[in-house]
Amino acid sequence: MPRFAANLSLLFTEHPFLDRFAAARDAGFPAVEFLVPYEHAPEAVARALRLSGLDLALFNMPPGDWAAGERGLAAIPGRFEAVAQGVERALAYAEVTGVPRLHLMAGLAERADPSARSAYDRALRHAAGRLAEKGLDLTIEPINRRSMPGYFLDDVDWAAGRVAALRAEGHANLCLQLDLFHAQILHGDLTVRLARLMPLIGHVQVASVPDRAEPGTGELNEAFLFGELDRLGYAGFVGCEYNPRSGTEGGLSWLAPYRAAPVGEGREARAVMSEALRLVPAALLDEARQRADALFQAVAGDLRAVLPPGSAIEHVGATAIPLCLTKGDLDVAIRVRPEDFETCRRILAGRFAPNAGSVATPTFRAFADAGSDPSLGLQLVVRESEFDVFTRFRDRLRAEPGLVAAYNALKLRHAGGAMETYRAAKSAFIAEVLSAEA
C-alpha cells in the first residue's frame, strides 16, 4: 500500500507553515515534503517535524530568486558558485531535519545549449558528491513547460539518461524524481515508463491532470498507478504536490482507502496506540520469548550484513528480560555512531515502515513491521544521545529482579486498559529507573 507525504507548500496553507506539520499528521499523512524551508530557521523546522512525529521525505535546494523568476540555477552558465552555496545551505537544514534526499532544480535554459548542459552536469556532479558525503540522495525532476515555460529539464527520458550516466561515473546517490503529473503531460504511457525507470526512481509525486488538483479529479487513474508502484516494489513516499480545489481537508476523500496503513504509519499508528494492553498469559511466556529470540537472530543476521561495521544490534524490550511480562512482540535497538546514523536510517527505511507514532529526530528513528510474527519494532539511535536508553533500561532490570517485579505490577495494573495510558505510565517508570541509575 502506498505511503503519502503531504506537500506543505501546497497543502494545509490554511495554517502558518510551521503549523502545517501537525495538520498533516492529524489528517492521516505519515510524512511531509515541501518546496523550500528557508524562510524559517533550521531548528524551527526540525522542531515542528519532531513534534509532529512525521517523516520528512524531501525538499528543494535554494532555487535562486523565485520572485525574480528564477526556477533553479543548475543549468545556468556562470551560476555554479551560487549552486554550491545553495547546496551548503540545504545541507544545514538536512542535518537537523534528517531528510534523506534533496532536489536540485535546473532552471530556465535551453537544453540544446551546450553551455547549459555543461553547467548542469557540473552542478549535478558537485551536488551529488556533497550529498553522498552526508549519506543523502540527490533527485532531479523533469517539469513540463506548460506549467513552467522554458524549464531546462523537460524530458523524462533525457533526465533518466543523465541519472544513468552519472551513476556510471560513481554518483550512485543520484535519482530520478518522477512527478506523475509532469510525466503524463510530457509523454503519457505512465505504466510502461514506471516499470522501465523504476531502478532509477528515488521519489514519486502525484497530482491530477490537467488541473494539478486532488488525485481522482482528472484524466489519470491514480488508484491503478498506486497499485503499479506497489507491484514494482516502490518503497518510498508518494509526494502529494497538488493544489486543493477548495481547502485541503475538504478534498482528502481520495486518501481514505489508504489510511488503514500498516502499524507505524500515520493515523493507523495512533489508532493502534488506543487499543487495549494485551499481555501474554504466564504459561506461554517461555514460548513467546523463544519466538521473539528466533526472530531477533534472523533480523540481526540480516542487518549485520548491510549496516556499517560497528553498529550494535541489541534485543531489548520485555522479551529480552527474564521473568518480565510481555505483549510478545520483539524490540530491537540499533546503536550507531553519529556519522553512521543517516546511512543506517536510509537502509532501514528501505526495509521497514517508519513508526510515525514515534518521535523522529536527527539522532533517533523508529521503524516497525506489524506483519512479522511476532510483531517487530526497531529503534535506531545514536550512541550516548538522548534516546540511547533501551539497553540501559534492559540491563538495569536484568540486574535487579525487584525492578522486574515493579515493572510487572505496572503492566498488570494497566492490562486491558488503553495503550496510551499504559505508555505514559511506562515512560514515567523508565525515567525513574534511569534517574536512579545516575
User: Are residue 213 and residue 294 in the same domain, yes or no?
Assistant: no
Burial pattern 282-307, b for ≥16 Cβ within 10 A else e, equals eeebeebbebbeebbeebbeebeeeb
- Single residue among 259, 293, 322 that ends a domain in this structure: 259
Calpha distance 409→193 (Å, rounded): 58
Phi, psi of 196 (to 5 degrees): -75, -35
In 180-305, which ranges are E strands?
Answer: 201-206, 237-240
Calpha distance 52→69 (Å, rounded): 33
Does 264 map to a domain? no
Predicted confidence at residue 276, as pLDDT, reads 66
Residue tagged active-site, from 214, 222, 241, 268: 241
User: Are residue 141 and residue 69 in the same domain, yes or no?
Assistant: yes
Predicted confidence at residue 424, as pLDDT, reads 85
Nearest to 161 by CA among 123, 196, 213: 196
Q: Identify the band that residue 421 occupies on the pLDDT scale cut at 50, 70 and 90.
A: confident
Lowest mean pLDDT among 47-61, 235-249, 250-264: 250-264
Query: Amino acid identity, residue 81?
Result: E
Q: Are 186 and 155 in contact (CB under 8 A)?
A: yes
- Single residue among 259, 294, 323 that ends a domain in this structure: 259
User: What sign does the CA torsion over 65, 145, 229, 9 have?
Assistant: positive
pLDDT digits (tens, 9 = 90+) for 312-353: 999 999 999 999 999 999 999 999 999 999 999 999 998 999
User: Are residue 253 and residue 340 in the same domain, yes or no?
Assistant: no
User: Are residue 191 and residue 54 in the same domain, yes or no?
Assistant: yes
User: Are residue 17 and residue 135 in the same domain, yes or no?
Assistant: yes
Inter-axis angle of helices 401-414 and 390-399, nearest 10: 110
User: Are residue 176 and residue 215 in the same domain, yes or no?
Assistant: yes
Domain span holding position 25: 3-259
Residue spans of alpha helices (H) in 241-284: 266-273
Predicted confidence at residue 438, as pLDDT, reads 59
Predicted confidence at residue 272, as pLDDT, reads 35
Q: Looking at the predicted structure, is the pLDDT value of residue 270 above 80? A: no
Calpha distance 216→207 (Å, rounded): 9
In 250-375, which ranges are E strands?
Answer: 312-316, 330-336, 353-354, 364-369
In 246-311, which ranges are E strands?
Answer: none
Q: Are 194 and 178 in contact (CB under 8 A)?
A: yes
User: Are residue 30 and residue 72 in the same domain, yes or no?
Assistant: yes
Does 266 map to a domain? no
Phi, psi of 200 (to 5 degrees): -100, -10
Q: Looking at the predicted structure, is the pLDDT value of residue 266 above 60? A: no
Does 265 map to a domain? no
Check if 241 is active-site.
yes
Does 100 map to a domain? yes
Does 433 map to a domain? yes
pLDDT above 90 coverage of the chain, percent: 77
For residue 165, what is the domain's CATH number?
A: 3.20.20.150
pLDDT digits (tens, 9 = 90+) for 70-99: 999 999 999 999 999 999 999 999 999 999
Q: pTM of the entire structure?
A: 0.63
User: Are residue 228 and residue 359 in the same domain, yes or no?
Assistant: no
pLDDT above 70 coverage of the chain, percent: 95
User: Are residue 323 and residue 245 in the same domain, yes or no?
Assistant: no
Predicted confidence at residue 414, as pLDDT, reads 81
Cell of 372: 512479522
Does 277 map to a domain? no
Nearest to 240 by CA among 117, 114, 58, 403: 58
User: Are residue 62 and residue 197 in the same domain, yes or no?
Assistant: yes
Does 270 map to a domain? no
What lies within 8 Å, CB to CB, of 83 at 6+ separation is 73, 74, 104, 123, 126, 127
Calpha distance 58→343 (Å, rounded): 16
Q: Identify the band that residue 264 occupies on the pLDDT scale cut at 50, 70 and 90.
A: very low
Query: Amino acid identity, residue 152?
Result: F
Query: Amino acid identity, residue 212?
Result: R
Predicted confidence at residue 356, as pLDDT, reads 66
Cell of 426: 511506562
Q: Are 216 and 223 in contact (CB under 8 A)?
A: yes
Cell of 167: 551513476
What's the total number of domains in the chain?
Answer: 2
Q: Looking at the predicted structure, is the pLDDT value of residue 261 above 60? A: no
Predicted confidence at residue 268, as pLDDT, reads 33
**Tally of residues, the chain:** 438
For residue 322, what is the domain's CATH number?
A: 3.30.460.10
Query: Amino acid identity, residue 80?
Result: F
User: Are residue 250 and residue 352 in the same domain, yes or no?
Assistant: no
Long-range contacts of 189-192 (CB under 8 A, 24+ apart): 190/220, 190/225, 191/224, 191/225, 191/228
User: Are residue 252 and residue 291 in the same domain, yes or no?
Assistant: no
Does 79 map to a domain? yes
- Single residue among 207, 226, 259 that ends a domain in this structure: 259
Check if 214 is active-site.
no
What average pLDDT does the chain have? 91
Strand partners, 414: none
Q: Is the peptide bond before 100 cis (omega within 30 degrees of 0)?
A: no
Calpha distance 238→235 (Å, rounded): 9
